[in-house]
Chains A and B, each alone.
Chain A
Amino acid sequence: MKIMKTARFCMLCLMALLLAAVASCAVRARYRSLQRLRAEYAALYLGNLSRYSFLQYSQAGPDQGRTALKQYLALLQRIRAERIPYPARTLHADCGLTYLRLYRLESSVGNLAAAKDYMRSAQKEFAALGWKSDSTSETALSKLIRIREASEARLYNTDGSEESTIDGDRQEERRGR
């Protein structure tokens, strides 16, 4: 009888230990560890995808560039939707820049409706950063991305050619006429 009582007490102690361990592990993981790890991994993943998508955009054709940029954008949107801790301003800036690249890409292949949608999305992102309306106008943003891509072409394209940039410019000229 005494052995039974002792065994029952030991089981009770073990249960208490396990329950307390699971509870404290769950609470810490849910509110701290998991969030921190996800934030850390998300930042690394964004870094990888950012470089991959940029290189696909600048080195490959429009289809490959579009696919890679959309993949990057999907991760940015996932981070926003799942509320993974990440600096909100950086998220707006990265989304805005990606929308602008997609705008340039769609302009260059003549998908003007899609280009317009991307420009609108970019304007929203930059407005959320507190940029004034004259800085988020279509003219200002298309000039901004044109200048940026021209300098990127000098760095990442050996001959300094700006194929997509030039194509985009042509489209924009056509639209202006």
Chain B
Amino acid sequence: MRTFPRGGIHPSDNKLSRGTVIERLPLPEVVYVPLSQHLGAPAEAVVKKGDVVRTGQLIARASCFVSANVHAPISGVVESVDLRLNGQGKYQEMIVIRHLGFSGASSAMPNLSEEGGTLSTSRPPSRVVATKSAPRNSPNEVTEEWADGIDTSPELVRECTLTPEEILKKIEMAGLIGMGGAGFPTHVKLTIPPGKHVTLLLINGSECEPFLTCDHRVMLERGEELLIGVTLLMRVLGVDEARVGIENNKADAIAHLQALTREHEAYRGVRIVPLKVRYPQGGEKQLVAALTGRRTPPPPGLPVDVGCVVCNVSTAVAVYEAVQKGKPLVERVVTVSGRGLTQPKNLMVRVGTPVSVLLAAAGGLPSDQGSDGRVKVLNGGPMMGKAMSYMEAPVVKSMSGLTVMEGPSARRRQQGECIKCARCVGVCPMGLEPYLLMKLSRAGMWDRLEQEWMINCIECGCCQFGCPASIPLLDFIRLGKQEVRRRNKI
């Protein structure tokens, strides 16, 4: 079984929503679309207050090369372009769109009924709450109208006659970004810098974070779309081999995709590779090492330096939709899971939907049901996810899951003394010495930190996970890393 060369841990995977079919969340009443959902410069808004937008219409344009377009996730009227709090409690520029029903708009969306399509001007005081058992494609109480040129039919479009440049342009127009978490604009990743040569496309289906299952469900339910997306990406990069790395705890997804690649001639270049279950298998550098044996050099080294480009499976599906269907990135699958929720789910939601709507759809927070216990809501999985402090914050393109932790698991253990057990050194996948980095960072010895390859840290959290004394290693390592980076730039 393939895996990365050193370090790593095996947290209990807790894939509660593994067997839950992706469910489409009803359209929200109001969405908050941040202009900066990606790494790089924020997009520039091209709509203003009072504008009526259709779903999929461009509302913010990429401001430079390393930036991404943003499209309207629902049809409605722009209420404001304003600073609003994001999940981390910081102000961010967001476009607020309130839903407007369009009469007779259903022609664009055949699976939506016309019942609720009346123009509702009286706004209900509460937000739209998901009905408990809303199966996919069920009649919806709100309708929408898609922008021109978007094919919303469910048919698969296998043939593609576009040139690589045209495909890349479509990807860029659709505002695609890496959907695995970091949110790097896809078109930037696919534009190979001069002097570099790419030989392999790697698709990340490892999903090594506990609790998260969105990629797993995507691979199972949208396998063929995924594979078409992969072949499109291969065409853009001009490579004839792609490897999809999937952790072995998703045997059904591996079998499904392997069967598909055997069935169709078109997907012959795609190899499905089972990987050992080991965190952080899905880390970019770890995945490259596991699938090819190549070692990505430390930052600013990228996988492209060793001839690889890595994409997430959800991104590949989004590529398919953008290229074959003309559909921009306005919705994604989000796993809403955790011990604090009664109904863990995989939800297909529109970008900009408030997180509270998703939590309500998954059974609601324990505190909503009278219990006064405090919970921790994570944007992402428990290993790398960011704790959120504000629940009206929106879903963004790179949000793969929400994990709700409650009770003692929501809190850190009492911190003890370092016993120098060297566990952190053993589990570090990057060959660093976290105990030392933490000490140096605490003491402010930035030059030493640089010598000790602080910059190589990928912040996977293995060190802190494994620490028997529960020392907040990563807290200080992150701090030191930021300082080292800052000093290097100047």
Q: Do A and B bind each other?
A: no
Interface residues of A (CB under 8 A from B): none
Interface residues of B (CB under 8 A from A): none
